[in-house]
Chains A and B, each alone.
Chain A
Amino acid sequence: MRMTKEVIPNVICTFCGATCDDLQVTVENGKVQSSRSGCAISLAKLMEYNRDRHLTPLMKKNGELHEASYQQAVSRAAEILANAKYPILYGWSSTSCEATKVGIELTEWVGGVIDNTTTVCHGPTLLGVHDIGEVSCTFGEVRQRADLIVYWGSNPIHSHPHHMQRLAIRKGRFRGGRKDRKIVVVDVRKTDTAKLADHFLQITPNGDYDLLCAFRMAVRGDELEQDVIAGVPADKIEEIADLMVSCEFGILFFGVGLTMTSGKHRNIDVALSLVRDLNARTKFLIMPMRGWYNVAGANQVTAWVTGFPYAVDLSQGYPRYNPGDTTVIDILSRGDSDAALVVASDPVSNFPVEATRRLAQIPIVTIDPRPSATGLISEVVFPSAIVGIETGGSIYRMDGVALKTKPVVPPPPGIRPDVEILRDILREVKKLKGGQTLE
């Protein structure tokens, strides 16, 4: 443990999908004292992560959560999951890839469904990608080459605060910085990001599909016959379309403004198609603004182990994928699940109310560094170590680059990393299942 004061350079931030890795964190006596170079959210996380921690596992007795020993909690958790007919194992986006790997194996053993936060975020993006593909790149290509940057349905100043300064504004080999780039923002409100743009298109809510189609037409040189489309004048659409075809290197960053409104994956379909079409005229790429620091990693690991990126049903002993059917919101809505494991996520806060109501009716095992609304209604709660601060592990940036986080301080005594807790639960489950197979 670092007792003397030390500045640890190049710490990787574990909050949003931009995973900035240039934090300078000062630690002393095993505690974080300060942090530089990160954004406001990163600073808040580093300075306040240690509040209100449970220091022991909790188990429900007579309707109330009481402290329990680790071994008791592991046994109870294994029991809940092993006895379930169709458990859901959810979360994964805010923990390490190593933890997700164990999670998949655990899902195989308990015959359940493994799903991650993609399911309420960029699931539609993946559905669009299945049909169209994706023309993309890593961050540095934007930094070095981009002269046109479009943010559509994304407000990075609030969601990924250092995204713009690392990519859009920073100097690159072929671009001198902000002055050599044009920024376009499309949003329903004049967001703080829009205020920094050269062009702001205020779109009517749920108008993305129409506007994207209009762009596709304009980019192909077709005539727009309406004067206003989704709240945007046709002249303006044509002006921006001209910017798109005449740039040297353009990129479209899009957020959940496209995935969460009506049209969903169809919106993404058109966005992906627009960018693909643009490649006939110039170099143009697209990138979804992934919200969590390891949601991309959860997709990658799940895909390489099962073939599919989220919503994977392993109840038949082989991977089955059918969003709309094997996605947790739908499983909960149908009342099909009879137990849940929630890892580093808070569905009670994040799921629409009906899904949460159903979740509340089944036993939940929560593994989370911090207290959460989900923890409040769980049968078993494991406090865990925070990836990137108290424990390490592999994570994937939103552009698919894998990074290895390292701890800067030790976790409180007795608090284990997610991966260790999961391995212990898996071991117990294997004993309970007695090495059974489905044959």
Chain B
Amino acid sequence: MADLIPFLQNIANGLLIGGVYALIGVGLTLIFGVMRTINFAHGEFVVLGMYAAIVFNQALGWDPYFSLVVALPAGFLAGVLIQRVILATIVDAPEESSLLATLGLSLIIANSLLLIFGGEPKSVLVPYASSTISLGGGVNLSIVLLLAGIATVAAIGGLYLLLNRTEIGRAIRGTAENRLGAELVGINTKRIHAVVFGIGMMLAVAAGVALIPLLFASPTTTGTVFTLKAFVVTVLGGLGNIGAAIGGGLLLGVVEVLGASYLTSEYRDAYGLVAFILVLLFRPEGLFGRSVQRV
């Protein structure tokens, strides 16, 4: 029994952290599924969310979660703008072009943040940082993690409703299935691409805001870490599959937390990467995906 409680504690923490990873992965996989763009700047979008929360906290004293009110619409608009200005012009170019363009974008974002805010890691200290809620039986949940989890559930729930219950959601799913076909039945796929990239960036920004009370953000390294995590999550689940990205995110969160407490943590990042290569090689459709015959 004594071993069970810390185990449950770890599972709970892992699921909550994993929820945030899922949020990042869902955005990446949505963008890939609809636009076939491998977004290398995704981690930098997360960092932008972190810095937005930091700026609002330092300048106006806002709680990080309150800054979502501004950060979410701003993230959406920035995403639409990036898609319209950069990615829309190379929509028919080879797949590598969008990879290189977003790689360039990630360098621009990371180094601009470095120029503006300097290199030292920053975070936001919230008064409830160490408060917990007891779930009974000795398992406690930190308020910060719980809020991050709630934000994740709300965002993914919202996305689910958007995709399955609205007209624009239908158009997005249609575009993902077959761009030409969607175009033929009157869907403006250019607009859909812009909306999807906006949503993807918004989800990444939300994840950044949710994470900032938990960790420090540094302009040039944090983004890369999250881009890699997002790739691991989405490839584990199968690129382009939203449900699987959620599963992949939760899995990565639990594995990381369990690994850190039961194994030596030196190779924590390597396990994810090895799994990433193996899945890419042997099950490119993802762990939870059905295999699809492609023409």
| Chain B binds chain A | no
- Which B residues are closer than 8 A to A by beta carbons? none
- Which A residues are closer than 8 A to B by beta carbons? none
